[in-house]
Amino acid sequence: MPVPASTPESVLAGPRLLLPGWTPEVAAAVVAGTRRGDWAPDFPAEGDRTIARLLARDPAGPGWGELGHRLLVERDGGTVVGGAGLFPAPDDGPAAVELGYGVVPSRRGRGYAVEAARLLLALARSAGASPLVAGVEPGNPASERVLQRIGMRPTGTRDGVARFRLDVGSAT
């Protein structure tokens, strides 16, 4: 079953970023190691390659849905600078989703991860997904700050990874 490209209605829009869904063409290019002209020089990062392989393996899976994986695209210039998404997190509850994101090194420090996380939090809220959870590898205080800036709180560690949680609630 072919996966349609993102429609304008499904593109999340922030002040500096657009978050369209991955397309099969982008996933295939990442998997094949093909460079595209609209990618930052250091895109894809390792996390993006992992996501592309997952998407390519499961063309009808949840990674393609509205709560699936998205690209981070700069509004100014249309350059792909990372990826982000929501993943089912059944260990944290039947409606739980896990937030994941990555910004390529050349674009870090610009607040893009916070902007993308806020857009995905709003999407989770509107979809009735709760709680929002996330994990941060040791030695990544910048990622911990991103999660705290969107209201997530630490809940401990699991398998050596710092865990964060936010009970999302519904949109009002």
Per-residue model confidence as pLDDT tens digits over 2-19: 333 444 458 999 999 999
Phi then psi for residue 59, to 5 deg, are -65, -15
From the list 83, 99, 109, the residue with the least C-alpha distance to 164 is: 99
Axis-axis angle for helices 46-57, 24-32 (nearest 10): 120
The pLDDT-based confidence of 67 (bands split at 50, 70, 90) is: confident
Peptide bond into 131 cis (omega under 30): yes
| The pLDDT of residue 60 | 83
Query: 104-150 pLDDT, tens per residue?
Result: 999 999 999 999 999 999 999 999 999 999 999 999 999 999 999 99
* C-alpha closest to that of 103 among 67, 137, 70: 70
Q: How far apart are CA 130 and CA 76, in angstroms?
A: 33
Distance (Å, rounded) from C-alpha 95 to C-alpha 88? 8
| Model pTM score | 0.90
Which of 56-60, 68-72, 100-104 is least confident?
56-60
Contacts of 54-57 spanning 24+ positions with Cβ under 8 A: 55/22, 55/24, 55/27, 56/24, 56/27, 56/28, 56/31
